[in-house]
Amino acid sequence: MSGQNFVDYVKICCRSGAGGAGSAHFHRDKRTPKGGPDGGDGGRGGHIILRGNSNVWTLLALKYRKHVIAGKGANGSGGHKSGAYGEDIILDVPLGTVAKDAETGEIHFEITEHDQQRIIVSGGRGGLGNSHFKSPTNQMPRYAQPGELGKEEWKVLELKLLADVGLVGFPNAGKSTLLSVVTAAKPKIANYAFTTLVPNLGIVQYRDSRSFVIADIPGIIENAHQGKGLGHRFLRHIERNATLLFMIPCDSENIKKEFEILLNELKMFNPELIHKPRVLAITKCDMLDEELKELLRPELPDSIPHVFISSVAQMGLNELKDLLWQTINKTTV
């Protein structure tokens, strides 16, 4: 999927339908010249509904649809006939879509399952017909309720990618190169920071026809949790990944410090992220021999499994796949 087609954030104006008015009708026929009230209720206004669709991967369809308008409910009529409901508008969204209020930032809900439906803006209620207001002291009510007005609200939809493994690292750490080598994905690759501006997904083919999904998250920088470098837009994709693969180049000045900075950014954004299973890949290791690797090991973070890899030289990739597969399956047991 090309970068311009990957849309993970949209802001839309949702206008639900107004409810129909109740009817102030009285029963009349040739045998009943002065019958009682028989006005029906107005129909409910149309809802605006989000529906999960596992075949949709992006919010592209909503990018240019700034206004979503549901139908108005029909008025009630005589004979206790209720008006028809207004037409609901159903928007198909990818799994992992979060609906928020655009003004307050309040999270309404998250769509996580195929065909799951949630109302994002409810339609107005239909008015009651005059038959509801009949009483012993008022047997001929000549009034009915008007329908409730619809709502017009701005909503934000944000997508959090769902993957087995999320790649975490500073810009130009080799994440996109790894994705291009171990999967069929074709991300943009260049020797400068922030080459990747949108997440990329790829499927890793493992042994015995098994597979798992990797998400290449755009590079994180220090203070990303404060929004620096589009940090919030990048970090939210990590929330729904089962396992985190930290990637740090072997020529980094201080591997342990870089790891701690990355871990701190995740913690400051969402403390629950630090409880996810973690694996460390030391990248660009085609320039290292075994002696240099042994000298480098004491500088690595403690209590996290690690592997030395080179995507260009395709070194250590099978070992990395084995380690990721074991970690993923530990989390799903």
Q: Which of 159, 183, 210 is the last residue of a domain?
A: 159
* Residue 56: predicted pLDDT: 86
pLDDT of residue 227: 46
Same domain, 176 and 324: yes
Q: Could you tell me if 214 and 183 are in contact, meaning their C-beta atoms sit under 8 angstroms apart?
A: yes
Please report, for the domain that includes residue 70, its CATH number.
2.70.210.12
Residues 53 and 152 in one domain: yes
Judging by beta carbons within 10 Å of its beta carbon (0-12, 13-18, 19+), is residue 119 exposed, middle or buried?
Answer: middle
Q: What is the pLDDT of residue 120?
A: 97
Number of structural domains (the chain) is 2
Q: Are residues 26 and 70 in the same domain?
A: yes
Q: Whole-prediction pTM value?
A: 0.69
Examine the fold and report which residue of 102, 126, 159 is the final residue of a domain before the chain moves on: 159
If DSSP codes are grouped into helix, strand and coil, which group holds residue 91? Answer: strand
Q: Do 70 and 205 lie in a common domain?
A: no
Q: Do residue 183 and residue 277 come from a single domain?
A: yes
User: Residue 164's closest CA among 279, 57, 265?
Assistant: 279
pLDDT tens by residue, 214-251:
888 775 655 444 444 444 456 666 777 888 999 998 88
Predicted local confidence at residue 221, as pLDDT: 54
Q: Would you state the pLDDT for residue 14?
A: 96
User: Are residues 135 and 52 part of one domain?
Assistant: yes
Q: Are residues 255 and 328 in the same domain?
A: yes
Q: Which of 113, 141, 159 represents a domain boundary (last residue)?
A: 159
Residue 289 domain boundaries: 163-332
Question: Which pLDDT value is given to residue 74?
Answer: 97
Are 255 and 299 in contact by the 8 Å Cβ rule? The answer is: yes
Residue with tokens 């171990």, as numbered in its chain:
182
Kindly write down the DSSP assignment for every residue of 146-184, as one continuous string: PPPPP-EEEEEEEE---EEEEEE-STTSSHHHHHHHHSS
Q: Residue 311 in 3-state DSSP?
A: coil
Domain at 209, CATH number: 3.40.50.300
Do 78 and 23 contact (CB within 8 A), yes or no?
A: yes
**Do 153 and 183 fall within a single domain?**
no
User: Chain centroid to CA 162: how far?
Assistant: 9
Bridge partner residues of 10 (DSSP): 157
Q: Which of 235, 262, 233, 236 is nearest to 247 (CA)?
A: 262
Measuring CA to CA, which residue among 36, 33, 23 is closest to residue 143? 23
- CA 39 vs. chain centroid, Å, equals 45
Residues of the chain scoring pLDDT < 70: 1-6, 184-199, 219-237, 331-333
Q: Which amino acid is at 175?
A: K
Look up residue 316 and give its DSSP letter.
Answer: S
Residues 177 and 261 in one domain: yes
Do 253 and 138 share a structural domain? no
Q: Which residue, 205, 212, 218, 204, is CA-closest to 176?
A: 218
Looking at residue 143, its pLDDT comes to: 93
In a shared domain, residues 142 and 187: no
Same domain, 44 and 189: no
Question: Angle at the Cα of 144 (from 139 to 147), degrees rounded to 5?
Answer: 160
